[in-house]
A and B are shown apart, each in its own frame.
Chain A
Amino acid sequence: EAGVTQFPSHSVIEKGQTVTLRCDPISGHDNLYWYRRVMGKEIKFLLHFVKESKQDESGMPNNRFLAERTGGTYSTLKVQPAELEDSGVYFCASSQVGQGKIYNEQFFGPGTRLTVL
């Protein structure tokens, strides 16, 4: 079974540009999450989708970040315009209650490493 995939693996952009990150969850997983790790800090929750609906976006830093999950399959996270402090690793995770070995187990993708210059 394919795991969570993310694209691109790396992105280097200049301040003020726009970047769109993509996440493909494990097939059949209704729950999709975005997390972010900035340099030297812990991984932090950004938001949670259940199918195509945003369940919780309390972790989104500001309105320069926009997440979508049209059709309830893959998700995109757009940063516009990017700022220096947006640099970090963006992880996507997915889960499905009852289908994981452990209740609440989230399966993580390899992450997108974003560098804003």
Chain B
Amino acid sequence: RKEVEQDPGPFNVPEGATVAFNCTYSNSASQSFFWYRQDCRKEPKLLMSVYSSGNEDGRFTAQLNRASQYISLLIRDSKLSDSATYLCVVVAGTYKYIFGTGTRLKVLA
């Protein structure tokens, strides 16, 4: 079993739609969680961190469920520019990033 699992997609959604991604992790001792965004052939860039209390940044909301060991990302009112791969990251210890395979999102006009 992979340490971090994501549905690879692709998710094809129309502009304006709401889309949600989930990610599950296996190490219950993990303390830090992030969503990174990666555009085609570019480097991963931090989208947002994930807290148990939830974290909202504009159209994006991230949530952590420790009991079920999953994190989620909700994107509201999707834009064409949201098309990218969304990487779930779980931090092992204090620094080692464990990545999921990424979920591809394509927002259609």
Chain B residues contacting A33 (CB-CB under 8 Å) are 95, 97
Picked from A45, A104, A109, the residue with its CB within 8 Å of the CB of B98 is A45
Is B59 interfacial (CB-CB < 8 Å)?
no
Chain B residues contacting A29 (CB-CB under 8 Å) are none
Picked from A44, A55, A95, A107, the residue with its CB within 8 Å of the CB of B99 is A44
B34 touches A102 (CB 8 A): yes
Residues in A84-117 with C-beta less than 8 Å from chain B: 91, 93, 95, 101-111
Query: CA–CA, A93 to B91, complex, Å?
Result: 14
Query: CA–CA, A4 to B43, complex, Å?
Result: 10
The interface of chain B, by Cβ under 8 A from chain A, is 2, 4, 32, 34, 42-46, 49, 87, 91, 94-102
B99 touches A42 (CB 8 A): yes
Picked from A31, A44, A108, the residue with its CB within 8 Å of the CB of B45 is A108
Chain B residues contacting A56 (CB-CB under 8 Å) are 95-96
Chain B residues contacting A95 (CB-CB under 8 Å) are 95
Query: CA–CA, A48 to B94, complex, Å?
Result: 11
15 A-B pairs with C-beta separation under 8 A: A33-B97, A41-B101, A42-B4, A42-B101, A43-B44, A45-B98, A48-B96, A91-B44, A93-B97, A103-B32, A104-B91, A104-B94, A107-B46, A108-B44, A111-B43
Is A35 interfacial (CB-CB < 8 Å)?
yes
Closest to A113 in B: B41
New contact pairs (15) apart from A95-B95, A111-B43, CB-CB < 8 Å: A33-B95, A42-B4, A44-B99, A45-B97, A55-B95, A56-B95, A91-B43, A101-B46, A102-B46, A103-B32, A104-B95, A105-B34, A108-B43, A108-B45, A110-B43
Q: A31-B95, A95-B95 are in contact. Are A42 and B102 (CB under 8 A)?
A: yes
Query: CA–CA, A43 to B34, complex, Å?
Result: 14
Query: CA–CA, A109 to B45, complex, Å?
Result: 9
B43 touches A48 (CB 8 A): no
Query: CA–CA, A43 to B2, complex, Å?
Result: 12
